[in-house]
Amino acid sequence: MKRLKLGMTGFLLLVMGWFAFCIAAYRIPGGPERSFDGEVYFKIMELEDDNRSFFEGILGNRRLRILEAPVFYVSASDKSRLWQTSPFELEDKRETLRVRVKAKPLLFGGYDVAEIESVKQVSGEPYVRK
């Protein structure tokens, strides 16, 4: 019984340590807010998983890819604004989405949770990958 208690305590300390590390790595700002403009890169299935995507998923944030820009994380409600029309329907209409996001750089690299400022449908081929 004592061993089980020690094991549970160790596990809880490990989880709390991981969460503290993630807060430090993914929430401490490192500079002024920046804006990024570009076309959305629709990735239908996210098969790549890393520590950041796992942490953001727990908090309810989703990955957003913009061509020729770093990967951003946005709230699920912001992400749903991009999927009001299916990427395949956009492909049939020969349209794509152009977004403007703003985010603060993080102290240890990457960007804080971004906010979508605007979404526009423009003519062009959408970048859709499975």
Nearest CA among 129, 59, 73 for reference residue 101: 73
Give me the domain span that covers residue 95.
2-129
Question: pLDDT tens digits, residue range 112-127?
Answer: 999 999 999 999 888 8
Q: What is the mean pLDDT of residues 81-94?
A: 87
pLDDT of amino acid 125:
87
User: Which amino acid is present at 67?
Assistant: L
Q: How far apart are CA 107 and CA 123, in angstroms?
A: 37
How many domains in the chain? 1
pLDDT of amino acid 61:
95
The radius of gyration of the chain's CA atoms, rounded to the nearest angstrom, is: 18
Query: pTM of the full predicted structure?
Result: 0.85
Angle of CA points 65, 60, 96, to nearest 5°:
30
Question: pLDDT tens digits, residue range 33-72?
Answer: 999 999 999 888 777 788 999 999 999 999 999 999 999 9
pLDDT of amino acid 130:
75
pLDDT of amino acid 20:
94
Q: What is the mean pLDDT of residues 96-112?
A: 94
Q: What is the mean pLDDT of residues 2-19?
A: 83
- Torsion of Cα atoms, 20 then 26 then 27 then 33, to 10°: 170
Strands (E) across the chain are located at 34-39, 41-43, 61-64, 72-75, 95-103, 115-123, 127-129
